[in-house]
Amino acid sequence: MKKNNKKTFFLFRNSVIVGIFLVASAVTAFSIIKLNVLVTKYLLIAMTVLALLFLIVSMTVFKTEEGSKKNLFAKIVSLLLSLALLFGTFHVFGMDAFLSKVTGAKKDSYEMSVIVLKEKSYEKIEDVKDLEFGVNKLMDKENIEETFTYINKEKSFTPQAKEYTNYKALVEDLENGVVEVIVLNEGHRDIVLEYDKNFNDKTKVIHTVNFEKEVQLADLNTKVKEDTFSMFISGIDTYGPVSSVARSDVNLIMTVNPVDKQILLTSIPRDYHVPLATSGQLDKLTHSGIYGINESVQTLENLLDMDIDYYVRVNFTSVENIVDAMGGVEVESMYDFNAGGYSYNKGMNHMDGKMALRFVRERYTLPNGDMDRGRHQQALMTGIINKALSPSILMNYNSVLASVSDSLEMSMPESHLKDLVKMQQKDNASWDIQSYQLQGYGAKSTTTYSMPGWNLYVMEPDRDSVEYGSELIKQMENHEVIQVNQ
């Protein structure tokens, strides 16, 4: 019993208590330096505060009589401060881990499914290894071949392929028994559902192959504190992994002039009828996303005669989470309208996550349909940027980071993002956010690359609008302050 008391007494000695605080202070200082998001002024302030706290704690503990009430109180305060520092350090390391996780992403994730009719008795891929596998090699040759390679490695056989040039014939032959098994890129499933809305109910997945591919973006050696740069923001039509290839329903280009503190948000309608970069064939812009983020980037670069430095990919989950984590955002609506159980007023609206998501997805009740939806996406992005630049975001930064860690990725290197954070700290500047929407006119096309033969709605680009949008971006790249006329 005496041994335990001595041990307790030893751990509560002045030197031990001060030593604990010293270790906590050192760990905190290390975490702040390692995070590398504070400019020199604020870093010096943080280090000075830690040093002063250590001096105050040391003097208070050592100058009071050991075992006195004042001494006991000083030790308790010291331990509480140590715990507070370690708790803060935990969150600093969490922020560092978050930045490492979401930045520098340059991979597309593919999920390839082996599918049969539900009525069939096949339950695993070994059951169909002697059958022909129906595949659409015209649209997905590289991924089909990659899938067969994985199957060979995992199951020691290479499927025999029956090749198709469109999904309509592939699905019809599956349902008619011409082929009993097909391979489908899950990023293309929505196209199949356009042909047969009951496809999911009629079929089952008996095997899945998952793999990733590097995204090949041009290395433009951008200096983000000096050079105007552009970032493609893709909102993918999925609630799954953010790296999944999927239709790109939100297509924004954010051009940033860090010198003159100006941002241009250029919105491109999802149905824009444009040549795909790889094939040169006309298709809807939204379909470019099912061939990978690089296809969307290069297609837009060709359209606007520009270079895109980075991309950000978010899914619908992240829209809700980001807005809620921020405590809601202020978003300007052009109209009074109702949608999805929500009422939106012309002018500024405070929106939570679900309300904001409904706002950017709505098009049918709006006068100009998809064009107005694009403007709403710009309005929400403006609200998020303004909130992110406000001091109030510091109160919620942990919840913001936690909410988006699995639903956002960007190709911008971590060091570049930290440079921007430090630049904003140093300048404490307000930013001018301009918006421009590419224009077009509705039409029909039976020759879209992804859905040939279907009489699909498309939006034919207004060439003057495209040229004006391209010119605005070029002006910003030349460090000219712009004023959008639309």
What CATH number has the domain bearing residue 405? 3.40.630.190
> How far apart are alpha carbons 147 and 158 in whole angstroms?
10
pLDDT of residue 10: 60
How confident is the model over 308-352, as pLDDT tens digits? 999 998 876 678 888 888 889 999 999 999 998 999 999 999 999
Angle between helices 353-361 and 316-325 (to 10 degrees): 140
> How far apart are alpha carbons 43 and 32 in whole angstroms?
8
> Could you tell me which of 321, 285, 312 has the C-alpha nearest to residue 300?
285
Q: Does 30 map to a domain?
A: yes
Joined together, the tokens standing for residue 357 give 């998501």
CATH number, domain containing residue 165:
3.40.190.10
> Per-residue pLDDT for 5 more than 70?
no
Q: Does 14 map to a domain?
A: yes
> How far apart are alpha carbons 254 and 145 in whole angstroms?
36
How confident is the model over 260-285, as pLDDT tens digits? 999 999 999 999 999 999 999 999 99
Query: If pLDDT is split at 50, 70 and 90, which confidence band does 6 have?
Result: very low
> Could you tell me which of 416, 424, 384, 407 has the C-alpha nearest to residue 104?
416
190 and 270 in a common domain: no
Exposed/middle/buried for residue 68 (C-beta within 10 Å: 0-12, 13-18, 19+): exposed
pTM more than 0.75: yes
> How far apart are alpha carbons 320 and 310 in whole angstroms?
23
Q: Does 439 map to a domain?
A: yes
Give the domain-ending residue among 214, 242, 262: 214
Q: Does 449 map to a domain?
A: yes
Give the domain-ending residue among 185, 214, 243: 214
User: Of 65 and 450, which is predicted with more confidence?
Assistant: 450
Other CB atoms closer than 10 Å to residue 474's CB: what's the count? 16
117 and 65 in a common domain: no
How far from 164 is each of 134, 194, 453, CA to CA, in Å? 7, 17, 14
Helical spans, DSSP H, in 326-432: 353-361, 370-389, 397-404, 414-427
Structural domain of residue 169, as residue ranges? 107-214
How confident is the model over 155-195, as pLDDT tens digits? 999 999 999 998 999 999 999 999 999 999 999 998 999 88
pLDDT of residue 7: 46
Q: Which residues pair with 432 in a beta bridge?
A: 262
pLDDT of residue 112: 96
Pair 304, 473: CB distance under 8 Å: yes
Q: Does 57 map to a domain?
A: yes
Query: What's the total number of domains in the chain?
Result: 3
141 and 33 in a common domain: no
Pair 127, 118: CB distance under 8 Å: no
315 and 186 in a common domain: no
Joined together, the tokens standing for residue 282 give 């006309």
How confident is the model over 389-411, as pLDDT tens digits? 776 665 566 666 666 667 788 89
How confident is the model over 288-320, as pLDDT tens digits? 999 999 999 999 999 999 999 999 988 766 788
